[in-house]
Amino acid sequence: MKKMLDASPYGQESEVFINCDLWHFRSLMFTRQPDFMIGNSYGKFIQRDTLAKGKAFEVPLIRLGFRCSTAIICTARPPGAMKAQ
Above 70 in pLDDT, residue 4? Answer: yes
State the pLDDT confidence band at 67, using cuts at 50, 70 and 90: low
Res 79: pLDDT: 52
Map residue 26 onto helix, strand or coil. helix
* In contact, 46 and 33? CB cutoff 8 Å: no
Q: How far apart are CA 22 and CA 20, in angstroms?
A: 7
Above 60 in pLDDT, residue 7? Answer: yes
Q: What is the pLDDT of residues 11-56, one digit of tens each?
A: 888 888 888 888 999 999 999 888 888 888 888 899 999 999 999 9
State the pLDDT confidence band at 72, using cuts at 50, 70 and 90: very low
* pTM to 2 decimal places: 0.62
